[in-house]
């Protein structure tokens, strides 16, 4: 999970690469609108389209699928 507002922060901090910061660029598979990661707790449940999901982990390493190419993805 990643909050959509974070993409704008990356674009401001790395303007030469701003076009790379789009949903999925960091390997995330869920992008949130109106809800911050800090507001989510283990055990929280959400309807996500036709799926019902439950948060089971709080730690997160950047995915090997990161395509932002900004040097911040552990590549």
Residue 27 near residue 62, CB atoms below 8 Å:
yes
Alpha-carbon torsion, ordered 23, 62, 12, 48, to 10 deg: 30
In the DSSP assignment, the letter for residue 34 is: S
Lowest mean pLDDT across 15-19, 24-28, 61-65: 61-65
pLDDT (tens digit per residue) in 36-60: 888 889 999 999 899 999 988 876 6
- When comparing pLDDT for 71 and 74, which is higher? 71
Q: Is the pTM of this model over 0.85?
A: no
The arithmetic mean of pLDDT across residues 53-73, rounded, is: 67
Instruction: Identify whether the C-beta of residue 25 lies closer than 8 Å to the C-beta of residue 73.
Output: no
Reported confidence tier of residue 65, pLDDT bands at 50, 70, 90? low
Residue with tokens 């993409």: 7
Which residue's entry shows tokens 């910061």?
21
Domain residue limits, the chain:
2-54
Region 6-31: mean pLDDT is 88
């Amino acid at each position: 999970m990643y909050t959509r507002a974070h993409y704008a922060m990356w674009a401001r901090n790395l303007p030469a690469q701003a076009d790379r910061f789009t949903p999925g660029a960091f390997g995330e598979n869920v992008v949130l609108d109106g809800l911050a990661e800090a507001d989510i707790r283990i055990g929280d449940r959400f309807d996500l389209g036709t799926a019902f999901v439950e948060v089971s982990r709080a730690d997160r390493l950047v995915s090997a699928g990161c395509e932002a190419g900004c040097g911040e993805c552990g590549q």
